[in-house]
Amino acid sequence: MALRRTITGFSNPLVKFLRSLRDKKHRRREGKFLAEGLRLLTDARASSVLPEMLVMATGREPHPLLDALEAAVAAAGGEIVEMDVDILAKVTGKDNPQAVAGVFAEFDTRIASLDRHAAPIWLVAQALRDPGNLGTMLRTGDAVGAGGLILIDDCADPFSVEAVRASMGAIFTQKLACARWDEFIGWLRASEGQLVAASLRDPTDYRIAAYAAPCFLMVGNESQGLPASYEEACDLRVTIPMRGRADSLNAAVAGAVLAYEALARLEG
């Protein structure tokens, strides 16, 4: 039987808890994250991931997808919380009576939990700082049939509201792992896997490089790129042509251009 609650006061501790999930420190402590919007929550459900808690406005209009979501959360023993629309606006930051939010348990992000043979392509990002770029890489990973995204060193938090939103639901379909470089390279070299860097150092044109599955495509920090020593540890350094004045692409764009080339070549 699902737990149901109606919140009528701004000072309710649950409101404070929900707002605190916008902050990384609190997410880590609670092991929970927020996803907002009916589309995202429906995407989660389609991937068989349900929120532990579903938060909605008391005065909302009925909506078949929202009803289905509510029924699924209730059936799974999750918690259904309704609150006045002005309180919900404090939680979501949006003045929208149709707003809806879900609280999810953070996923296992240990690299040891990845099955590298589950997919031909994996995306790897090092010190990626922008949560929008991170979410976009998850979305691209889903699109190319990648297994997931491996985050090396200090990256933006994949469970931030911005990253979850930019992933357009791919946070629920792609595996996520977080590791320091030494841990990652140790794991990678313990079995088969080709590590490919997007690089400007002694590189091969990305269109003629010989990709091999499982293929780990790595991009670096938005302003620094990859450390030289990381690139040297790669099996392949590939470059994307730059015909203009600038010397780099947006990190998520570079990852996507590489991933689609690798996909075509591995399938071809």
Neighbours of 31 (CB within 10 A): 11
List of residues 6+ apart from 86 with CB closer than 8 A:
none
Query: Do 112 and 190 touch, CB atoms closer than 8 A?
Result: no
How many residues of this chain bind a second copy (CB under 8 A)? Answer: 36
The reply to whether omega before 241 is within 30° of 0 (cis) is no
Asked whether position 221 contacts a second copy by CB under 8 A, the answer is no
Residue among 78 and 141 whose Cβ is closer to a second copy: 141
Pairing of strands 100-105, 53-57: antiparallel
Q: Give 182 or 245: the residue with its C-beta nearer to a second copy.
A: 245
Q: Which stretch binds a second copy (CB under 8 A): 78-86, 133-141, 191-199, 213-221?
A: 133-141
Pure H helices in the chain: 13-20, 24-30, 38-46, 64-75, 85-92, 131-144, 161-166, 181-189, 228-232, 251-267
What is the nearest approach in angstroms of a second copy to the Cβ of residue 81? 27
Choice between 73 and 259, CB closer to a second copy:
259
Q: Binding of a second copy at residue 245 (CB under 8 A)?
A: yes
Question: Residue 257, interface with a second copy (CB under 8 A)?
Answer: yes
One of 126, 136, 194, 199 touching a second copy (CB under 8 A): 136
Q: Is 253 in the site for a second copy (CB under 8 A)?
A: yes
The label of the residue with tokens 């010190």 reads 127
Please report whether residue 94 would count as binding a second copy according to CB under 8 A. no
Q: Nearest distance from residue 166's CB to a second copy, in Å?
A: 7
Residue 145 engages a second copy in binding (rule: CB under 8 A): yes
* Residue 78 or 169 having the CB closest to a second copy: 169
Judged by CB under 8 A, the stretch of 91-99, 152-160, 164-172, 231-239 that binds a second copy is 164-172
Sheet arrangement for strand 79-83 = 3-7, 79-83, 53-57, 100-105, 32-36
Q: What whole-number distance in Å separates Cα of residue 216 and Cα of residue 121?
A: 6
CA distance 145 to 192: 19
Given candidates 20, 233, 260, 266, which one binds a second copy under the rule CB under 8 A?
260
Whose Cβ is closer to a second copy: residue 83's or residue 198's? 198
Burial class (CB in 10 A: 0-12, 13-18, 19+), 84: middle
Instruction: Select 15 or 141, whichever has its Cβ closest to a second copy.
Output: 141
Q: What are phi and psi of 237, to 5 degrees?
A: -115, 120
240 makes contact with a second copy (CB under 8 A): yes
Binding site residues, a second copy, CB under 8 A = 43, 46-47, 132, 136, 139-145, 166, 168-170, 173, 207, 240-246, 248-250, 252-253, 256-257, 260-261, 263-264
